[in-house]
C-alpha cells in the first residue's frame, strides 16, 4: 500500500510552523525522523493533507548539560543519545534503554521528540521520561510551557499537547549520585516491540532499597508506574518475602491486555519476572 497524496513544506522557523498549523489544523502533521509517521502513512492509518518537515529549524537538536537537568532537543536522533558520553554519565537510564529502541538503522533517523509526541505505550523514551520525572517542553505561537511526563501521556497515542503546539525538547533532572538504574525488556526478537519492559531506579545501602521507582512499558495505554509494588519494596531487604509482596502488589495495579501472541496472564507473569530481575540488578 502507498501513502495518500499530500503537500510537503520544510519551514525554516518555528513561527512558520505555528502559522501553518494554525491554517491547516488537523490536516497538517509534523515530520521529524518519520520512523513512525511514514509507516502509518503507507498503511493509510494517517491521511494528512500537509507534512511539515521541521528538520531545517535551528535549535531543536543537541544534548545540553544544565545546573539542574540535561536538556535533549526534540530533533536529537536516538543514536546520538545512545552514543553520548554526557548521557551515559548524567542520565544513565537513557543510555541503558537506547539499544532497545528498534534497530540501529531506525535509531539513526528516529528522534526523541517524535517518540515522545507519538506516545506509543510500548516505546522506551516515554517510559524513561516518566521514570526520571522529566519535563516535556512544548512551544506554540503563545509561547513555551513545560508539562511533567507523568501528566503528558494521557491515553493511547494521546498526550497533553494542545492544538498548534509541538514538542521542542525534554528536560531530565539530574539524579543523586547514589541513585542506581536498570532497564530491560522482553521481546520475541531483538528490535521487535516489547512484550513488556521496565525502567527501575532506587538507592541501595545497608542491604535495603529506598526511593524505588518502577515504570512499565507495554502493559497499558501509557507508561505505568507501579506504586503499590514500590511501596512493598521500599526500605526492605530483597528476600523471598519482599519479592512475593511486590509480586502480589503488582498484580493489583498492572492489568495488561492480551495481544496476538501472549495472554494477559502471561504478560503479568513476565512483568513480575522482569521486576525481580531488575531489583536484583539495583542491589548488585
Mean pLDDT by 10 residues, the chain (284 residues): 90 97 95 91 91 97 98 98 98 98 96 97 97 98 98 97 98 96 94 94 96 97 98 96 98 94 96 98 96
What is the pLDDT, as a whole number, of residue 183?
Answer: 98
For strand 135-140 and strand 180-186, is the pairing parallel, antiparallel, or unpaired? unpaired
Q: Do both 252 and 195 map to the same domain?
A: yes
- Domain residues for the domain of 240 are 181-282
The whole-number pLDDT of residue 210 equals 97
**154 part of a folded domain:** yes
| pLDDT for res 50 | 96
In a domain, 2, yes or no: no
Question: Is residue 30, in this structure, part of any structural domain at all?
Answer: yes
Indicate whether 35 and 14 sit together in one domain: yes
The CATH number for 32's domain is 3.30.43.10
The per-residue pLDDT for 190 is 86
Q: Can you give the CATH number for the domain in which 214 is found?
A: 3.30.390.50
The pLDDT score that the predictor gives to residue 2 is 84
Total domains in the fold of the chain: 3
Do 266 and 227 fall into the same domain?
yes
Domain boundary among 102, 137, 172: 172
Q: Do 99 and 12 share a domain, yes or no?
A: no
Does residue 18 lie within any of the structural domains? yes
Residue that terminates a domain, selected from 138, 155, 172: 172
Whether residue 120 lies inside any domain: the answer is: yes
Q: What values do phi and psi take at 223, rounded to 5?
A: -60, 135
Provide the pLDDT for residue 38: 87
State the pLDDT at residue 107: 97
Per residue, the 3-state secondary structure of 41-107, as one string, reads HHCCCCCCCEEEECCCCCCCCCEEECCCEEEEECCCEHHHHHHCHHHHHHCHHHHHHHHHCCCHHHH
Asked which of 128, 152, 172 is the last residue of a domain, the reply is: 172
Residues 209 and 163 in one domain: no
Amino acid at each position: 500500500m502507498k501513502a495518500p497524496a499530500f503537500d510537503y513544506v520544510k519551514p525554516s522557523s518555528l513561527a512558520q510552523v505555528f502559522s501553518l498549523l494554525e491554517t491547516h489544523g488537523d490536516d497538517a502533521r509534523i515530520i521529524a525522523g518519520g520512523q513512525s509517521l511514514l509507516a502509518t502513512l503507507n498503511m493509510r492509518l494517517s491521511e494528512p493533507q500537509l507534512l511539515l518537515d521541521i528538520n531545517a529549524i535551528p535549535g531543536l537538536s543537541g544534548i545540553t548539560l544544565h545546573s539542574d537537568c540535561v536538556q535533549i532537543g526534540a530533533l536529537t536522533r536516538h543514536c546520538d543519545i545512545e552514543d553520548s558520553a554526557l548521557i551515559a554519565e548524567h542520565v544513565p537510564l537513557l543510555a541503558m534503554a537506547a539499544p532497545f529502541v528498534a534497530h540501529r538503522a531506525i535509531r539513526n533517523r528516529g528522534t526523541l521528540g517524535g517518540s515522545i509526541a507519538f506516545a506509543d505505550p510500548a516505546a522506551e523514551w516515554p517510559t524513561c521520561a516518566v521514570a526520571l520525572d522529566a519535563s516535556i517542553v512544548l512551544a506554540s505561537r503563545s509561547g513555551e510551557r513545560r508539562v511533567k511526563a507523568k501528566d503528558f501521556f494521557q491515553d493511547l497515542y494521546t498526550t497533553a499537547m494542545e492544538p498548534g503546539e509541538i514538542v521542542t525538547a525534554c528536560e531530565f533532572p539530574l539524579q543523586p549520585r547514589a541513585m542506581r538504574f536498570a532497564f530491560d525488556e522482553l521481546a520475541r526478537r531483538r528490535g521487535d516491540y516489547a512484550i513488556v519492559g521496565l525502567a527501575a531506579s532506587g538507592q541501595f545501602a545497608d542491604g535495603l532499597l529506598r526511593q524505588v521507582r518502577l515504570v512499565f512499558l507495554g502493559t497499558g495505554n501509557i507508561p505505568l508506574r507501579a506504586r503499590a509494588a514500590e511501596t512493598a519494596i521500599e526500605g526492605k531487604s530483597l528476600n523471598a518475602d519482599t519479592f512475593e509482596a511486590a509480586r502480589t502488589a503488582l498484580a493489583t495495579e498492572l492489568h495488561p491486555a492480551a495481544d496476538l501472541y501472549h495472554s494477559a496472564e502471561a504478560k503479568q507473569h513476565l512483568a513480575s519476572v522482569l521486576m525481580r530481575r531488575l531489583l536484583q540488578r539495583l542491589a548488585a
